[in-house]
Amino acid sequence: MRTDPAHPRGQAADADADADADGAAAAGALIARATVVIIGGGVMGTSIAYHLARAGVRDVVLVERGELASGSTSRAAGGVRAQFSDELNIRLGARSLEAFGRFEAELGRHIGLHRVGYLFLLSTPEEVAAFEAGVRLQNALGVPSRLLDPAEARRLSPLIRTEGLLAAAFSPDDGHCTPESVVQGYAAGARRHGARILRHCEVTGIDTRDGTVTAVRTGRGRIATEAVICAAGAWSRSVGAMAGVDLPVTPLRRQIATTEPVPDLPPSLPMTIDFTTSLYFHTEGPGLLVGMSDPDENPGFATDPHDRWIPALCAAMEQRAPALLDLRRTGGWAGLYEITPDHNALIGEASSVSRFLYATGFSGHGFLQGPAVGEVMRDLYLGREPFVDVGALGVGRFGVGALRPEANLV
């Protein structure tokens, strides 16, 4: 890949285009009281706000220290899938795919959904065996994934080379869409149902009394409330600490590059992942979006792009998709994964503080699970039974050694 200077992606392409519909958000007015305060204005926070407000919860307030979708969501690759190894993730992914499919009809926002599938390229017997087991579980849960031979994989994704490839896994229901549009759609829907959104409003503390939440303190004043939902992504650990709750979330920089237009690029090109190296690509306009994990990356909040990952990226391309090496890099950005010790989400309510709920730590698959998790958090807040039991994803699992690892990570 020819390394022209990369340019950061415009944060939140239509950033808060509907903000004027919320007078408090636009004018910076203080909201003194809320039934529930959601911290974080990415896909998770806005989805939760929408689902709560639509369910009739009054005085829902979302606080975001920047613009909506200006954190990790705006820097996501936008992939949506149900091909996971963990049953809970399969169910959350499949439920979210249904929601993405009806998003425009339900929320009136076009999200650029491309149902072109996810194609995992498998190069070792261990990978093949793991994905065979995964496909069996996914099929049992209604996901139409299947194993392919290398020749069929190349027909779907003609930019790859098949030397050393043993098999591939593919599901046609998967794909990718535009993260910022999803956030803006949920935010507009939440406002229509009465939720209020405070942008440029940093949370500075959470007050509790006798083990119960009483208020959220912000740079614009104190909001009295009896419930808080932390959806702060990579910043969740510090939010949890404000309430005395340990949320073991570690930030880790991940980088993405975009390329010049690619002639004769198939419109049905799937999201293609070389599972051994984690190299992945999908269409982005007339070109490609390309990413890969960097094993030398250190945890931290840095989001400045750098070129240290390019040699490893090019080596992975040379092995699996050499045609990408000739493409000029026209842009790129870095964002943060929110990693937990077992690379699986934290979803639940704190046992030590009444009415402190959390949805965070998704370790790279948060955007694609946002719609379903919004439903789950609505039901947990209302004391209803969610469509899937997420009890195993509570933060308490780390204290008792009940880790729940997810294997299909990108």
What pLDDT is stored for residue 14 in this prediction? 45
Burial class (CB in 10 A: 0-12, 13-18, 19+), 140: exposed
Least confident range from 9-13, 184-188, 233-237, 389-393: namely 9-13
pLDDT band at 12 (very low <50, low <70, confident <90, very high): very low
CA atoms of 124 and 354, how far apart (whole Å): 47
pLDDT at 26 over 60: no
Amino acid (1-letter code) at residue 203: V
pLDDT in tens, 42-56: 999 999 999 999 999
> How high is the mean pLDDT of the chain?
93
pLDDT computed for residue 214 by the predictor? 98
User: What percentage of the chain exceeds 90 in pLDDT?
Assistant: 91
- pLDDT of res. 43: 98
Query: What pLDDT sits at residue 20?
Result: 39
pLDDT band at 1 (very low <50, low <70, confident <90, very high): low
Give the pLDDT band (50/70/90) at residue 259. Answer: very high
Q: Is the pLDDT of residue 76 over 80?
A: yes
Mean of pLDDT values over 302-330: 95
pLDDT for position 21: 41
pLDDT of 145 above 90: yes
Q: Residue 202's pLDDT is what?
A: 96
Q: What is the pLDDT of residues 384-398, one digit of tens each?
A: 999 999 999 999 999
Q: In which band, very low, low, confident or very high, does the pLDDT at 29 lie, cut at 50, 70 and 90?
A: low
- Count of beta carbons in the 10 Å neighbourhood of residue 315: 13
**pLDDT at 30 (0 to 100):** 77
| Pairwise CA distance, residues 42 & 121, whole Å | 30
pLDDT tens-place string over residues 263-312: 999 999 999 999 999 999 999 999 999 999 998 999 999 999 999 999 99
pLDDT digits (tens, 9 = 90+) for 205-240: 999 999 999 999 999 999 999 999 999 999 999 999
| Segment 111-140 mean pLDDT | 98
Average pLDDT over residues 174-186: 98
Please state the rounded mean pLDDT for residues 236-262.
Answer: 97
pTM of model > 0.85: yes
* C-alpha closest to that of 318 among 203, 164, 192: 164
Q: Give the model's pLDDT for residue 345.
A: 98
Cα within 13 Å of Cα(199), Cβ side? 22
Residues contacting residue 222 through CB under 8 Å, at least 6 positions apart: 32, 207, 215, 216
In the prediction, which pLDDT does 6 show? 41
Backbone angles phi, psi at 18, to 5 degrees: -100, 15
